Structure 1
Amino acid sequence: MVDPRELGKEAARIATQSIRDAIERQGTARIVLSTGASQFETIEELIASDIDWTKVEMFHLDEYVGLSEQHPASFRKYLKERFTSKVSLKSVHFVDGEVDYLAKMAALSEELRKAPIDLALIGIGENAHIAFNDPPADFSTKEPFIVVNLDDACKSQQVREGWFPTLDDVPKQAISMSVHQIMQCKHIISSVPHKVKAEAIKKTLESDITPEIPATILKSHSQWSLVLETESAAYIK
């Protein structure tokens, strides 16, 4: 039986090789990290990998609008506690949804456009969202980051995972990397553990590409690595 820890090891192995290849090819690597309960093991294993982090530039995938960094559900807080405080990165670019967030989003978009992203760790939500691109996702916008409205299925997932006490406590909006921008990354790895993701994985793999199942777009990427474990793969024929 493959469990979440083994999944994390395999995803980190693939990610490590991708990062090393980028550093060998061009001297640096640019990566995007996602957050949430599904990424715990992958991030832990990645930290333990043999990577020259001083040559790695990290971008952040998404963040709630109006949420303080001190809130337990803040993705900036998540990444600072679980990743950036544990490795010596070349530079870090967080999504900040607090004061003047539109100006910050524009500045972050400009920074992102300076060079291609070599690797992105992109989870898949219970409603098959990627980043905070809930169904029906916008497949057409070319903006790197966009403000999105969160649907009830997405907000319910955040409550079940323990990030918020009730549905009403979940912010109504978030800043998210767009689907188009995610697809521009050279290599995408999706680490997807747990039984609650099994239906989303089944729909992703067995459906045509559609904004109603946002993760289906990943199947059109030339270098997409999907890493599952026994529970998340349970409904695949």
Structure 2
Amino acid sequence: MKSAQPVVTFRIDHLDVEIHPDNQAMGVAAADAAAKIINSAVERSGTANLVLATGNSQLTFLAALRKQNVAWSAVTVFHMDEYLNLPAGHPAGFPAFLRRHLLDEVRVGAFYPVPGHPADLTSACRGYEALLRAHPVDLCVLGIGENGHLAFNDPPADFGEADWVKAVDLDEHSRRQQVGEGHFDRLDEVPTRAITLTITGLRSAATMLCLAPERRKAAAVHRALTGPVDGTCPASILRRTPQARLLLDRDSASLLEPRNPERTGGAE
């Protein structure tokens, strides 16, 4: 029988990186890790607080997470961004995405969607930040955008913001990515503004798992891991985030220098 391909693991600055054989293997590994983190938090404090990303990069992870033995009734779920003023019921809305791919299948203790139609934008951002501060995040699972964004922190991103939640104007590259992923038919259908957790808000999590599969993410991954750590590539801040772990597949890692395989959990 052919042996399984090894997982390549290494460290860049403070960031542990894993290269899995394919997207499916990456998603299963991420779900295994997430389930352990969530259940450990529940055992420790009786509850677990989880921030989830949306988008196609999360699909294999969410499918695998649904199959995990998780104490879902003790879990509070947040997510990290949402379009402003997307038509009600639009399937591209991020709460709808999470319901389709996870929350309709498991019964969590509570789900707090980012408000997409706030009467007062400033109050909405402050209110969501207050919820996050009242529920210290045990795990944040996020992705990397094709332009290097984290959540909707497009370049140039501010790594030092005091606020945890803010309204943003969306970069055209981010909006085109949404069309490319099939969530909208045309660019003019994609909203131009959103609410997002800031880099500071994301990094408030005790643990972060960043999932970035697929060849279309290869250039952003390469910039994040080999370029300067600055706002021109928001994902580069992961290299200064000791509680973060980056999971790739061979396609998204295709522009990185080849490395010798190590056992999963090893470093070089």
Which interval holds the TM-score relative to the shorter structure?
over 0.9
1:112 equivalent to 2:132? Answer: yes
Shift of 1:139: 1.7
Answer whether contact 1:20 1:51 (CA < 8 A) is retained: yes
SS of equivalent to 2:78? strand
- CA shift digits 1:175-230 (9 cap, x unpaired): 00011011111100011111000010011110121001000111111121111111
State how far apart, in whole Å, the 1-side matches of 2:133 and 2:88 are: 25
Pick aligned residue for 1:79 from 95, 98, 117: 98
- 1:96, 1:104 within 8 Å by CA — same for their partners in 2? yes
Partner-residue secondary structure (3-state), 2:154:
coil
- 1:199 equivalent among 219, 235, 252: 219
Question: Is 2:100 aligned against 1:100?
Answer: no
- Higher relative helix content: 1
Q: TM-score, normalised by structure 2?
A: 0.85
In structure 2, what residue type is equivalent to 1:199?
A: A
Q: Please state if 1:21 is matched with 2:70.
A: no
Please name the residue that 1:38 is paired with.
57
Specify the SS of the correspondent of 1:11: helix
Post-superposition CA distance 1:145-185 (Å, at most 9, x none): 10011111111111111111122211111100011011111
CA contact (8 A) 1:155 1:170 kept: yes
Q: Are residue 189 (structure 1) and residue 178 (structure 2) matched?
A: no
How far apart, in 2, do the equivalents of 1:18 and 1:104 lie? 29
Counterparts of 1:196 and 1:28 in 2: how far apart (Å)? 36
Q: TM-score, normalised by structure 1?
A: 0.96
Aligned residue type for 1:22: A
**Letter in structure 1 aligned against 2:24:** R
Per-residue deviation at 1:106? 2.5
- Checking the alignment, whether the CA contact within 8 Å between 1:127 and 1:153 is kept in structure 2 is yes
Q: Give the aligned length.
A: 237
Give 1:65's aligned residue: 84
Amino acid at match of 2:125: M
Unaligned residue ranges in structure 2 (runs of 5+): 6-20, 258-268
Match of residue 222, structure 1, among 242, 247, 255: 242
Q: For residue 99 of structure 2, what is the amino acid of its counterpart?
A: K
Q: CA deviation at 1:138?
A: 2.0
Asked if 2 retains the 8 angstrom alpha-carbon contact of 1:122 and 1:191, the reply is yes
Is contact 2:125–2:167 with CA below 8 Å preserved after alignment? no
SS at match of 1:113: helix
Aligned to 1:134: 154
AA at the equivalent of 2:80 = L
Corresponding residue SS for 2:211:
strand
Out of 63, 66, 70, the position equivalent to 1:51 is 70
2:16 corresponds to: none
Aligned to 2:164: 144
- The Cα shift of 1:72 comes to 2.0
Once residues 162 and 221 of structure 1 are traced to their aligned partners in structure 2, the CA distance between those partners, rounded to angstroms, is 32
Structure of higher CA gyration radius: 2
| Counterpart residue type for residue 174 of structure 2 | C
Q: What secondary structure is seen at the aligned counterpart in 1 of 2:64?
A: helix
Q: 1:68 deviation in Å?
A: 2.8
Superposed, 1:144-163 pairs within 5 Å as: 144-163=164-183
Does the 8 A contact of 1:37 with 1:161 survive in 2? yes
- Three-state SS of the structure 1 residue aligned to 2:143 is coil
**Greater relative contact order, per chain length (Cα 8 Å cut-off, separation 6+):** 2
- 2:23 maps to a residue whose letter is P
Per the alignment, in what secondary structure is the counterpart of residue 58 of structure 1?
Answer: strand
Q: CA deviation at 1:3?
A: 1.6
Give the deviation of 1:69 after TM superposition: 4.1
- How far residue 98 of structure 1 moved from its aligned partner, in angstroms, is 1.2
What residue in structure 2 maps to residue 88 of structure 1? 107
User: Runs of at least 4 residues of structure 1 off by over 6 A?
Assistant: none
CA distance in 2, matches of 1:214, 1:231: 21
Identity of aligned residues (%): 36
